[in-house]
Amino acid sequence: MKRNYKFLIRYDGSRYQGWEHQPGTDLTIQGKIENVLTKMVYGQDYTGAPVDVTGAGRTDGGVHARGMCANCFLDTDLSEQEIKDYCNRYLPDDIGIDDVRIASDRFHARYNARGKVYRYSCYFGEDKPVFERKYVKVLERHPDIGLMEEAAAMLTGTHDFRAFCSNSSKMKKSTVRKIESIRITENGPFIRFYYDGTGFLRNQVRIMTGTLLEVGFGTRTLESVQRALETGDRLDAGYTAEPQGLCLMKVYYD
């Protein structure tokens, strides 16, 4: 009998084309997990339709996750621990399953999600970040944290974030989203942005980060942030920050 399983997943997205299937490549997180689960359920020689894994979101190429959630229906007699062990044995070393639980049949990792927390990490220091280079954006100078916090306060709350979306022209649904909080922390050479929201548009976190950094560097005014919210014009918001600094930290549910 098929049962619905909830997975908690972490991955280093450096060499992948993102979470979701992409035409012409097998380098996606979703694809790797589906391949392993399909062989677990149907055997190594199976060539039919793969197990369908649904993720809570669609991280872009080069983006990481410490708390991605997914679900899928599996027809297996293996226990949750045995499923987890099997996945971690056969998945690449840069993808890990932290937890597997039987969920209700109605549970859907994407539609039931009530919010997500993303972290964007920057580095500003005298030493070259050799070991952290795949997980941070290196800054050439130190931004003004106070100014960035003022701009972050303007982005907090419920707004139409059309200007902070990379594909708004193709969006058929509302671009209104609610940002519960934006925290900016500084610990040694690391400056980190934490975004807690009920949902995010494509590239929204990276565009908000690029916007905040421009404010911090003095190349963008606080007034321009408000103008971007009012006009909804992508050209009025900042650039899209590089993917390697972004990490999905948590997906939360009721």
Between CA 94 and CA 82 the distance in angstroms is: 20
110-123: b or e for each residue (b if 16 or more CB lie within 10 Å)? eebbeebbbbbbbb
Exposed / middle / buried, residue 81 (Cβ in 10 Å: 0-12, 13-18, 19+): exposed
* Contact assessment for residue 249 and residue 117, using Cβ atoms and an 8 Å cutoff: yes
Beta strand pairing call for 3-11 and 95-103: antiparallel
The Cα-based distances of 51 to 37, 131, 187, 201 in angstroms read 7, 35, 42, 27
Between CA 133 and CA 14 the distance in angstroms is: 11
Between CA 20 and CA 28 the distance in angstroms is: 6
Does 60 qualify as catalytic in the annotation?
yes
Catalytic residue among 26, 52, 60, 160: 60
Cα 211–Cα 213–Cα 216 angle in degrees, nearest 5: 115
224-252: b or e for each residue (b if 16 or more CB lie within 10 Å)? bbeebbeebebebbbebbbbbbbbbbbbe
Between CA 66 and CA 83 the distance in angstroms is: 19
Between CA 1 and CA 15 the distance in angstroms is: 36
Q: Tell me the catalytic residues.
A: 60
